[in-house]
Amino acid sequence: MNVLFVTAEAAPLIKVGGLGDVAGSLPKALRQRGHDVRLILPQYGSINVAAVGATVIRPAVPVRFGERTLVVDLLVGALPGSDIPLYLLRCPEFFGSGGVYYEQTGPDARRHEVQRFVFFSLAVSQVFFQLGWQPDIVHCHDWHTALVPSLLRTWSPRHTRLATVLTIHNLQNQGQWPRPDILSWVGPPPLHHPAFPVQPPDQIFNCLREGIYAAATVNTVSPTYAQEIIRPELGDGLDGPLRQRLGGVVGILNGLDVEAFNPATDKRLVAPYTVDSVPSGKSANKAALQHEVGLPVDQKKLLIGVVSRLTEQKGLDLLRSSAAECGKLNIQIVILGTGQPEIEQALQDMMTAYPQSMVLMKKFDAVLAQHIYGGADAFLMPSRFEPCGLGQMVAMRYGALPIVRDTGGLHDTVVDLSTDPAHGNGFVFRAASPDALLACLGRAVQLWHQPLQWQQAVQRAMRQDFSWTASAASYERLYAEAIAKNPAA
């Protein structure tokens, strides 16, 4: 099959979170299974074109954007570390400045962000025929590219061989913006899918909702999250449209790029290690990490790592509410992340109160992230909801036992050691409350003091298969289903 990934991120080129990891690793797994997979992304200002060996193959392609006609350059190179063709769309007006998303909050930043991705979706739909290559599947990801199924239909009504797939990596972000703006950017012909009352009768347009109606198949990134989002509690207002989809919403668990995330070959670790050499490897990396972040170098204390966006979703504010009790547990916590200013501040206050045991590194740093996975004994993800979560899988691969809330993909990947000591690979708590988190941390500390059982659990976690093998086959089936659903195929 020929598959075009249309995405806002793809690691290692440009990554903000799990979407980047998936869009960078699933194509490789599919390619190994014999498919011709390619990606198309905006050429953000931060992308080093030379590093991807990109050259212009179609200069100055006109793109209709509302009343205006802009031009974009179409470049092609390769995703770093692979031979996967990577198309980049160059348009400095929309993609030249800033990161992937607009970091500042407020209506101006939101407007720029929505406008950027509406433009990207329009541009993809309009340069589609200039690629010189015919995909069978156009695979869109999240709200940023959820307009593509509708727009492709609008801009290529006679195009018959095309099936579209939409993967929801996080339902919370939907790309909502006042309808008059969106319609003025999209311009004629009208954005409309005849089979559905596409948008609710209010003045807010919802990009993700459009994609849910228009794509041939829709899936999300874990079986449990697929069940959760068709219910009002976690449906974020889109549970109705999701329930209406014929054939439902499939949950396919994300895999990892097991070559990029491999403790045995990871050059970022001071001492790479395997499942057999984990005790000594961990100690060396733990001491280096404690030194690097300014915590006392102490092998006896349970060192808990966090690598996360600091948003309400991720639940780290629960930690703040039990700071005093955490302080008494005699553990160390290192948090790497950035996000909502009030959560950053709350965590910062906590760190200031317990400088000997807690530290917050307020930045995005892929190297320090690996130091944490490699050096921490445990890894905390108290998410309120979690579509899949990659952090806990990377942590397990690096022998850091996950401490997680029982939701979404965390439910699908972590087995609680207290309830199932023979198969457990981490610690799971149910209620999204500081007390439940604290009790779970207490259980982790208890096991930490039983080194034999702890080591057995670490080795069990490291031996799990986190590769894309099983899930890539599930995506093949999803693609086949999308092609079968395409009435014109």
444: number of CA atoms within 13 Å, CB side?
Answer: 30
Q: Taking CB under 6 A as the rule, does residue 110 contact ligand ADP? A: no
Please give the DSSP secondary-structure letter assigned to residue 228.
H
Q: Taking CB under 6 A as the rule, does residue 7 contact ligand ADP? A: no
Per the listing, tokens 């000997």 go with 356
Q: What is the dihedral of CA 364, 370, 375, 381, to 10 degrees?
A: 60
Is 366 or 431 the residue whose CB approaches ligand ADP more closely?
A: 366
Exposed e or buried b per residue across 283-299, where buried means at least 16 C-beta atoms within 10 angstroms of its C-beta? ebbbbbbbebbebeeee
Using an 8 Å Cβ cutoff, are 259 and 81 in contact? no
Site string for ligand ADP, 358-387 (x = CB under 6 A): ------xxx--x------------------
Inter-CA distances, 266 with 256, 262, 303, 371, 398, Å: 14, 6, 20, 10, 10
Using an 8 Å Cβ cutoff, are 376 and 305 in contact? yes
Please give the DSSP secondary-structure letter assigned to residue 390.
S
Is 334 or 483 the residue whose CB approaches ligand ADP more closely?
A: 334
Task: Using the rule CB under 6 A, give the single segment among 80-88, 97-105, 193-201, 305-313 that binds ligand ADP.
Answer: 305-313
Is 66 or 339 the residue whose CB approaches ligand ADP more closely?
A: 339
3-state secondary structure of 132: coil
Q: Taking CB under 6 A as the rule, does residue 99 contact ligand ADP? A: no
Which of 389, 408, 424, 434 is the binder for ligand ADP (CB under 6 A)? 389
Is 126 or 425 the residue whose CB approaches ligand ADP more closely?
A: 425
Query: How many residues in the chain?
Result: 489
Site string for ligand ADP, 326-345 (x = CB under 6 A): ----------xxx-------
Q: Taking CB under 6 A as the rule, does residue 269 contact ligand ADP? A: no
Which of 74, 146, 226, 307 is the binder for ligand ADP (CB under 6 A)? 307
287: number of CA atoms within 13 Å, CB side?
Answer: 8
Q: How far is the CB of 392 from ligand ADP (least distance, A)?
A: 7
Which of 305, 315, 382, 391 is the binder for ligand ADP (CB under 6 A)? 391
Per the listing, tokens 């739909």 go with 125
Is 139 or 397 the residue whose CB approaches ligand ADP more closely?
A: 397
Which of 4, 13, 14, 18 is the binder for ligand ADP (CB under 6 A)? 18
Which of 390, 396, 400, 417 is the binder for ligand ADP (CB under 6 A)? 390
Where on the chain is the footprint of ligand ADP (CB under 6 A)? 17-19, 21, 307-309, 336-338, 364-366, 369, 388-391
